[in-house]
Amino acid sequence: MNRSRGSVDDRPRPETRLDTLASPADLQRLPAAALPGLADEIRAQLVSRVTRTGGHLGPNLGVVELTIALHRVFSSPRDVIVWDTGHQAYVHKMLTGRLDRFDTLRQASGLSGYPSRAESEHDVIENSHASTALSYADGLAKGFQLTGSLERRVVAVVGDGAMTGGMCWEALNNIAAAPDRPVVIVLNDNGRSYEPTVGSLAVQLRALRTGTAWGNVFEQLGLAYLGPVDGHDTMALETALRTAALLQHPVVVHCITRKGAGHTPAELDEADHLHTVNPTPTAAMSQAHGPAWTDVFGDELVAIAGERTDVVAVTAAMMRPTGLFPLACRYPERVYDVGIAEQHAVTSAVGLAAAGLHPVVAIYSTFLNRAFDQVLMDAALHRAPITFVLDRAGITGPDGPSHHGMWDLALFGLVPGMRVAAPRDAQQLRVLLRACIAHEVGPTMLRFPRGRSGVGIRARGTVGAAELLTEGRSKVLLVPVGPLAGAALEASRRLRELGIRATVVDPRWINPVDPELLRYAGEHRLVVTIEDSALPGGFGDALARALRRTTSRPQLITLGLPGDFIAAGERADLLHAHGLDAEGITEAVVAGV
């Protein structure tokens, strides 16, 4: 049986062992002697395909033998395998009948970069945020026990990086307390997430790996422990996993793996550039302008820290991706990586603020959602002077619904005293970052998207804290959030050609709504807000609420994202699909005037 669809240039490739595997049952029938060759084929496919499409390369190269062993010992989907995080599930997808879709990885309508229930019965949980798998496993095991499905086993594959998250320990507290409810916890220990694993746990795991531990934290909790096992020895893994499967109580199987194993550039990649690789550049990518938003933030923060010794930074296991690496190189004692622990990051920052410092908490927009209570009840309640910097705000693209940073305005716009800024270009990022850090009577937030910052846009005047981007007056006002200012300006040009004059104003501060901007909006017949965030609770909603408290009643059109999950796709394509480019804005105005 040949399930190959060829490469992207349509040239057929020879059939391999991997091509013959339509399901885990086929894998279980392979002789042991064939497994090293299969592992080589899988790695070749990962390198070939993921470097074309983009995706998580290093984590998946590290779990090839482990995934093979899991699917030979356990019978998915009867036995449930949960991955933490789900970006290490590419090999799992290949072994469950999805090899022929890998040329569509992380593309619109293509193969998801994470487990996806819509794709396969082998994907039970769609977990793309870390430190969740053990909680899922605890609930699954409870459910199977309650419904009498005792033949079904629950396996959670969790990385040592994910184990730095508090949810893992909350789950372990419950799993270990039920010795009659077996859960197999496969600890994939490669010593890092994006960065080397931090904290005391890393020290404990290193001692277990080297045989120098005085005790075993897992056994002390009441869990059985097997290992450490060479995570690249399929037969040793199978032996350990079969032993674990026979136990009738919770067990940890400690597997030692190498991130990027089998691909020399990835194995030697200490900076972790091959954790995620970008797709082969397209014409659109090569035309992108300006420095990356993340780089601008990182550079400006170093400059500010050189001027203010009270500025410190906090991140949750993402030093390089959030732009804090330059600061860590310059002032290592002023940067704190707390592991995959966003809740702890926020409340620890409140403690730093209480000690007289100004913390800058740099976290992806989608991940700060996990710490809403801490932002509300710890940071805001104490009026703590903390600056939250949200990278990857708005549409992020190929990582799909769990990673679009489209909820932050709705969530954090609720927080009393929170001031939120959105820069339109690189220069405004520098200006607004300084303004956020200068604010000392409560928390501030700065949000910007993934990618490059584009061309600079000059202000033509001011309206309170907002800036006019066009000259003259009109009856139509376009109010774009952040970098959507460029699309709004292009829309105003197209409207002028249609005989409709439109003014463009950049609010810069989008929460709370500036009273001067509110007054100015009330002088127009039609006001159009434009944001790549969820409309319910977004900037448009905030402006509408504020206008209802005035005597002004302009017609208001709010353009943004629906309050639903949005699939993967290129940022430009998704903005177009939701009417957030020049064409969509123009059509909305024409329909509204």
The annotation places the binding site at 87, 128-130, 160-162, 190, 263, 342
Residues 6+ apart with CB under 8 A from 347: 374, 378, 379
Bridge partners for 502 per DSSP:
476
For 56, other C-beta atoms within 10 Å of its C-beta total 24
DSSP secondary structure string for all residues of 136-197: HHHHHHHHHHHTT-TT--EEEEEETTGGGSHHHHHHHHHHTT-TTS--EEEEEE-SBSSSB-
Indicate which residues carry an active-site annotation.
259, 342, 370
Residues 6+ apart with CB under 8 A from 123: 89, 115, 116, 117
Show binding-site residues for Mg(2+). 160, 190
Q: Which of 547, 232, 532 is nearest to 406 (CA)?
A: 532
Distance of CA 186 to the CA centre of its chain: 23
Burial of 52 (0-12, 13-18, 19+ CB in 10 A): middle
Residue 424 token pair = 């339109």
CB 584 within 8 A of CB 576: yes
SS3 category, 458: coil
CB 532 within 8 A of CB 394: yes
CB 288 within 8 A of CB 88: no
- Torsion angles phi and psi, residue 6, rounded to 5: 80, 175
Specify the pairing of strand 276-277 against strand 55-56: antiparallel
DSSP secondary structure string for all residues of 29-60: TS-GGGHHHHHHHHHHHHHHHHHHH-EE-HHH
For 518, other C-beta atoms within 10 Å of its C-beta total 18
SS3 category, 201: helix
Calpha distance 2→131 (Å, rounded): 38
Q: How far is CA 84 from CA 71, 132, 160, 382, in A?
A: 16, 7, 10, 34
Side-chain-facing half-sphere of 358: CA atoms under 13 Å: 23
Alpha helices per DSSP H over 217-376? 217-221, 234-246, 264-267, 283-286, 293-307, 325-330, 342-354, 365-368, 372-373
